[in-house]
Amino acid sequence: MALHVMDEANRCLQCKVPQCQKGCPINTNIPMAIRLLKENKLNEAGKMLFENNPLTTVCSLVCNHENQCEGHCVLGRKGAPVHFSSIENYISTTYANQMTNGPAKSNGMRVAIIGSGPAGITIAIILARYGYQVTIFEGKDKIGGVLRYGIPEFRLPKSVLDDIEYRHLNLKGIKVRPNTTIGSAISINDLFRDGYKAIFVGTGVWKPNTLHIKGETFGNVHFGINYLNNPDSYHLGEKVIVIGAGNAAMDVARTAIRKGVHTLTCFSITKEVAASHYEYSYAQLEGVQFEYNKKPVEIKDNGVIFKDVIENDDGSFTEVDGTEKLYEADSVIISISQGPQNRLVNTTEGLKSNSRGLLEADETGHTSRPGIFASGDVVNGARTVVEAVAHSKIVAESMHKYMQSLPKDEE
């Protein structure tokens, strides 16, 4: 592993204008990290990575590197780019073992974090560095949000999240209340009553988008986000259809293959899959089949009826009459993205959402109600992990500025 990483590090040209850094949504100083590693300053490189991106160990595994840092590497124009994902993973996981410092000195101010996905974890870690007393409220039994319950183990081992919980949360004095949904027994008003000076909402998007076609309620039909939550609880049979062809659909398909499904076909309404090339190629290698320009029109007990469509230049689709065909399957999994749950918005006065149910917030995270901030998927819809982290860094500083501006008698 180390030899391979150093081989990759030695390939870096140390460009004066690093395109790799421009391609990184969180602006990681990639040349400096590589330079420090080559100078045997691994701990300095690790510290820099974590200070810039609290979820660097996660992003090194799940980022869309081919379109971001590695996709912008100048060496990739005529050959293979420098695989910074491997370098970042080696530096961050090795340095993580050195991270044993306790909590910062308390500034006496409480902050509530609702949701422990990428956005919530990032906010919690940054505010804890400032000395805030941080409590995370998580609706499930373990932290991680989409990282734990929406990304398969083979892409992101749960041990990585357990290490984050230990080193970044437990050791830093951040408290976690699992199995606690805000908007049920505890409300936003209860949090303000108990002295939390600011509240961050990072509840993600867990409500599956539906097709609104006949047969969608049948017992052989499931939603992708629900399946990834706990695949072992599903009995899919030998032949499965996945409707959708994005990265999440690839996760669903590859997981189902690993769980014993013999034949799995992903159906895309477009002429190309929406998933990244890497995820698409892995799915192909693992035996996933693909059908293109197919629109589902009805789900049956024994499969799905699809109709051919023509993709127009403006992005719309024209259905081809007379092309309806039943594709047989034991189970059907719908994986066409998801939206937010509405419980918290519906139970909180003064908190506005848009027509899609996403929370309204400005670019620095301020919502329509003072003291409540939001970022991540619950604001922007389903995006990448690194985009959520990058935006949440800005929101964390905004929260810090807001709380420091509060009148002294309110502290």
Fold annotation for 208-338:
FAD/NAD(P)-binding domain (3.50.50)
Average pLDDT over residues 246-262: 97
Percentage of the chain beyond pLDDT 90 is 83
* Of residues 9, 18, 24, the one with CA closest to residue 67: 24
* pLDDT computed for residue 1 by the predictor: 46
Percentage of the chain beyond pLDDT 70 is 98
* pLDDT computed for residue 186 by the predictor: 93
Both tokens of residue 13? 């040209």
Q: Please write the tens of the pLDDT for every residue from 291-333.
A: 999 999 999 999 999 999 999 988 899 999 999 999 999 999 9
pLDDT exceeds 50 at position 252? yes
Average pLDDT over residues 263-289: 96
Q: Please write the tens of the pLDDT for every residue from 231-243.
A: 999 999 999 999 9
Residue 304 backbone dihedrals phi, psi, to 5 degrees: -135, 140
Average pLDDT over residues 147-151: 95
Equal CATH topology for 110-206+340-410 and 208-338: yes
Give 411's pLDDT tier (boundaries 50, 70, 90).
very low
Fold annotation for 110-206+340-410:
FAD/NAD(P)-binding domain (3.50.50)
Specify which residues 332 forms β-bridges with: 221, 241
User: 255-261 long-range contacts, Cβ below 8 Å, gap at least 24?
Assistant: 255/152, 255/154, 255/227, 255/228, 255/231, 256/227, 256/231, 256/333, 257/286, 257/287, 257/288, 258/152, 258/154, 259/231, 259/232, 259/234, 261/236, 261/237
CB 28 within 8 A of CB 54: no
Q: Please write the tens of the pLDDT for every residue from 92-104.
A: 999 988 887 778 8
User: Is the dihedral angle over the CA atoms 136, 205, 215, 274 positive or is it negative?
Assistant: negative
Average pLDDT over residues 361-371: 94
Average pLDDT over residues 37-42: 96
b/e map of 352-366 (b: 16 or more CB within 10 Å)?
A: ebeeebbbebeebbb
| Cα(225)–Cα(30) distance, integer angstroms | 33
* pLDDT computed for residue 195 by the predictor: 96
pLDDT exceeds 60 at position 410? no
According to CATH, what is the number of the domain 2-96?
1.10.1060.10
Give 348's pLDDT tier (boundaries 50, 70, 90).
confident
The CA-to-CA distance between both ends of the chain, in Å, stands at 50
* pLDDT computed for residue 101 by the predictor: 79
Q: Please write the tens of the pLDDT for every residue from 102-138.
A: 788 999 999 999 999 999 999 999 999 999 999 999 9
**Mean of the per-residue pLDDT values for the chain?**
93
C-beta neighbour count of 222 within 10 angstroms: 20
pLDDT exceeds 60 at position 20? yes
Domain edges within the chain:
2-96, 110-206+340-410, 208-338
Q: Which of 21-35, 344-358, 382-396 is the least confident region?
A: 344-358
Residue in the block written with tokens 């002429």: 271
- The full DSSP string for 261-285 is -SEEEEE-SSSS-SS-HHHHHHHHH
| 404 against 340, higher pLDDT | 404
Give 69's pLDDT tier (boundaries 50, 70, 90).
very high
| 148 against 205, higher pLDDT | 148
